Amino acid sequence: MIRRTRVYRQGSSTYVIGADDATVALEVLGISPETHGWGSTEFGLFVRRQGLWRACSEFAPPSDAQPGVIFVGRIVEKAKS
The tens digit of pLDDT for each residue in 21-45 reads 999 999 999 999 999 999 999 999 9
Determine the residue type at 55: A
pLDDT at 80 over 90: no
On whether the CB atoms of residues 46 and 68 are closer than 8 A, the answer is yes
pLDDT at 2 over 80: no
Determine the residue type at 80: K
pLDDT at 1 over 60: no
On whether the CB atoms of residues 6 and 17 are closer than 8 A, the answer is yes
Per 3-state DSSP, what percentage of the chain is helix, strand, and coil (rounded to 5)? 10, 45, 45
Cα–Cα distance for residue pair 33/66, rounded to 1 Å: 24
